[in-house]
Structure 1
């Protein structure tokens, strides 16, 4: 692999420091022919957005582009060429074009940066005896709707470098015909937040240990022009979100302390009124061990004297043993623990169903493996337009995450106290898609 840099001065970036270690690096010249397997690095902190266009020929030839410390303006410059961008500044922004079939390509984008999200922490205690709950105390809010920033770590940098080093082969088995105006963008980015609790509950128990919770996401956007004469011209735009929600190992776990468990996840798409809902999945499920997410769209095309039809379909199946899915709106879902209590609750009296009030212990064996480790999930929506758009459309995805920590303690002569700490975070990703590339 050839690494070529475009910079006005020394590059000071944690991703570049690791990437360039032991590598042969030289300056970029637009006269040099670069292709698949090569990498062009632009130091956006010392280069203008207008400088980005000099690498487009190499990008079209299959070379990858890595923007270091890009502003939103640098991303807009790339978007003018590829039709897609995530919004906001970041620390690393990787783009590579991949050939799917003759005349058909896709862009793969990987991003790394600080994780930012709104977080909340609340605790609630209950007092019980051998017969169950006797008294429920009011919730105690430690903090609510506070912005939390998780700086990029060395582990995040390694994860980013591993992702861009991984060759993800496009699925060519059912690739669309070259006459179809079609585009695909596959975007990946990690998110994380710190789950924590208040100092003490009403019953004097606490605090729980802090824990880093992560959410690794991939968004697959696909757009196509339907211009068959019998149907009129309009566009489809689909979004498939897949990911893994994980607690990275439980802390201080025994029969008296349990957590942090992952309890609930709620992805939500927000799209402009120019996009009309066409289909989405998964639909509501309960008491099942697997769920299949996917879509199927029939597209008619008439291009370069060739008319025809293409059926796009995709699906992914995930295990959700002892969890359930509720489709809340056309483009909003709730994944939640189903047993031993509803993971979407913040009520300690509901969660206390996991307590053995005779022994004064938490029934740790009742919790699903998903809750104690990780959830793999997928949600999908397809929109259509009423006319052919040639402007940018903005789509925002928010992911609400909830994790729980539980603590139980017997007080001689006073019964058994149980406390539920609930930590929540909502993190969002915003994108702009240039519909003119599928017009």
Structure 2
């Protein structure tokens, strides 16, 4: 583990000024139990050996790096490479922490996994893990996202999960988190709440980062083997930010590598039209932890929007808030239109259909390419776009309005 990763978070789960755990009294002992169990098994040889076996023989790791040669040639300037988490079993990076969380639950004697999901990738991954380990699974999902990401809803149900529609508020990711926490309150003895990103109360931001670190470890070794050098830039989309922290972990101690997080600018900078938390947010609390938060005039979490259901969250991982504050990572954005352009471009030029979440990172790399001639950009292609096909083609066609 790198020098930086050993230093943060502190024992109370703080990444500088962000993180911690702010919980109802009835939940405090259960999150403490999870933290203690994780600390106990994270250095246990048998747990690590089982997780490594799962990653190699079930998930299909390591995932490769692909040079996006056609896209790079078309754009001119920088060379773009892709860390292919879309080739991870179940189609996204989410299985990296879901299999590990389910294995932790098994070690703790729990019988059930409870979680929220936005785009459905975390829900599918957790349902997959539950099936593998013989656990029950309950997934809370906003009604807006259920309609938008229906293929993933079918997958979750096929894998044996119970999908709970969330019908209050904006009916998207924030409300799904609220609903899942409420359900967990009544099932703490038998269930574990498996948070789907580097968000939430301690120990989840650290734990999920550690489980996702495999992305950065692989990518660093693979990129050096492929090119003989480290990348000049690494780029990943940021909603909560688990795929980004996974990639960043491999390069955070390399001063020559610039880290870039890409937030959803949606339809523009007006409140409610985007989910660019680091760009426009202020320090605050949400869902039991401190981070940058988008708030309205009353100080409540603001309404958010993104074409990508997995990114429409008014908070962000506390570690991203910290990396922004200390200047180690830069955070930019991509609009819905730029994201769609990247979605179609990668599909037609490389034969890779990316998730809309991942397309934000591709869009940002495409914008960077022209001004970084001769440099290398490594993008975390965090998921595949099967789940988005119906939504995109029904609403935007097959790319007729997005010429290359």
Fold shared, TM-score > 0.5 on shorter chain: no
Structure whose residues are more often strand by fraction: 1
Q: TM-score, normalised by structure 1?
A: 0.26
Larger Rg: 1
Structure whose residues are more often helix by fraction: 2
